[in-house]
Amino acid sequence: MVMDSRHLHNDEDGRDKRPDENAANTATHPAVAEAAPAQGIDLEELLTQLAQGEGPQQVQAAEQLRILVPSDEGIERLCAIVEDTTDARRLPALQVLGFHRQWLARSSQLERVMVWVRIEEDPEVATAIAWLLRGRDVLQELLLHPVVGVAREAAIGIPVGSATLEALLDALLVGRGTDIDRILTQRLMTLHPSLTAAAVHRILGVADRVTGDALRHVLGCLPQQPLFELFVEGRSRPAWTAEPSAADTEQLQRWHHVARFASQVLLSTPAAELIRYLVNRSAADDTFARRHASFMKDAMANTVDVLGPEMLNDLERLTVNATDDRLERMARMLMDLSDKIAGGESHSHVSDLLEKWKNRSPALKLKIYHLQQGLK
């Protein structure tokens, strides 16, 4: 972080804190904004104290700079200090600029900062500039920066969305080291399900240039339900053509290659959300149930997640107008998942459902009884 003064405040762990968020909110109050000027100390003097002072003087300067809201003229002066490579106050200046990022709303200022980081030769200053850009899409340009600190700050600060998705995927597929890859993994796991198709499109485009381990890792970060739909159900499969070209054939081969990894990933660690989706689809759709019976069986056996009452509510809703064959299938799935369902009221709900289905007909009652006894 920029001119890290956390050791002066006894903070427990501020490694990934964003100081501007609380500071900016606090500084909007007029009384707070005027706190520093009231003591007769100007901006540049505070910067000098933080850069060159010691002990209590640095603490006081850091606190005053945090609550000081620079004017447009002050912002310009701070930028000038950063651009002067001989000025010892560059890091404190960047910290103040980072406390109050509103000035970056102008595209000209944002591009100005990008010029700084592109040409900066001091790794510490370059890292500070990357920190300054947290929350901005332009950080995607810095994910593969040769300075590890810069790449790490970019990984922490990059927003996850459609504009940055390709860069985030590329960086994770290439690999930047354990720490940065861990951060990027955590960021990718926050991806909204609606962006899964876009992620898959990018992965398919580079699949022939990355390792199988990298593919497995990235696929494992994506939301599981849309991943199942895209690969196991085949919704992302290239359209069939009567006379495929060489490019069409290569594209299809690449899809099968990635689809195999996707299926392996889904079956290795199926999440509760995927199991719920599979149970719902299998209970409601006979064709889906037959087509994906093997996958469904393996997924239910491999999941380690605890299933909540939502799935039981789904099955109760699907009971209405269900045929005996469908209820038998639902009972079989319920029995297979009985040890994965949360205890207490949920277990009582399972028993109630099975008894309700038994009462549908004598034949169904016998079949469910056999399931409960472990008989085929």
Asked if the structure places residue 9 within a domain, the reply is yes
What is the extent of the structural domain holding 197?
Answer: 160-268
**Quick one: pLDDT at residue 346?**
66
The Cα-based distances of 143 to 173, 174, 175, 179, 219 in angstroms read 12, 11, 10, 13, 19
DSSP secondary structure of 195-218:
GHHHHHHHHHHHGGGS-HHHHHHH
Buried b (16+ CB within 10 A) or exposed e, 176-190: beeebbebbeebbee
Is the same domain home to 253 and 346? no
Asked if the structure places residue 74 within a domain, the reply is yes
Is the same domain home to 258 and 342? no
Asked if the structure places residue 115 within a domain, the reply is no
Run of H or E residues at 90 = helix 90-99
Run of H or E residues at 302 = helix 293-302
Is the same domain home to 175 and 207? yes
Is the same domain home to 260 and 275? no
**Quick one: pLDDT at residue 141?**
97
Residues 6+ apart with CB under 8 A from 92: 2, 3, 46, 47, 50, 51, 65
Asked if the structure places residue 280 within a domain, the reply is yes
Asked if the structure places residue 126 within a domain, the reply is no
Per-residue pLDDT of 255-297, as tens digits, reads 999 999 999 999 999 999 999 999 999 998 999 999 999 999 9
Q: How many separate domains does the chain show?
A: 3
Is the same domain home to 241 and 291? no
pLDDT at 81 over 50: yes
Asked if the structure places residue 112 within a domain, the reply is no
Per-residue pLDDT of 32-67, as tens digits, reads 333 334 344 578 888 888 888 788 888 888 888 887
Boundary (domain end) residue, out of 105, 125, 146: 105
Q: Tokens standing for 83?
A: 């651009």
Is the same domain home to 351 and 302? yes
Boundary (domain end) residue, out of 61, 86, 105: 105
Asked if the structure places residue 139 within a domain, the reply is no
The Cα 179–Cα 201 span in angstroms is: 26
Is the same domain home to 286 and 239? no
Tell me the percentage of the chain whose pLDDT exceeds 70.
Answer: 88
Asked if the structure places residue 148 within a domain, the reply is no
Q: Tokens standing for 231?
A: 């690969």
**Mean pLDDT over residues 202-214, rounded?**
95
Is the same domain home to 253 and 326? no
**Quick one: pLDDT at residue 62?**
82
Residues 6+ apart with CB under 8 A from 227: 196, 200, 219, 262, 265, 266
The whole-chain average pLDDT of the chain stands at 86
Is the same domain home to 306 and 225? no
Higher pLDDT, 293 or 12: 293
Per-residue pLDDT of 296-336, as tens digits, reads 999 999 998 888 788 888 888 988 888 999 999 999 898 88
Per-residue pLDDT of 166-180, as tens digits, reads 999 999 999 989 999
The Cα 324–Cα 363 span in angstroms is: 9
Work out the pLDDT band at 345, boundaries 50, 70, 90. Answer: low
**Quick one: pLDDT at residue 288?**
95
Is the same domain home to 206 and 245? yes
Is the same domain home to 239 and 250? yes
Question: pTM of the prediction?
Answer: 0.80
The Cα 19–Cα 102 span in angstroms is: 13
**Quick one: pLDDT at residue 64?**
83
End-to-end alpha-carbon separation of the chain, Å?
Answer: 63
Is the same domain home to 294 and 345? yes
Boundary (domain end) residue, out of 41, 74, 105: 105
**Quick one: pLDDT at residue 97?**
93
Higher pLDDT, 26 or 39: 39
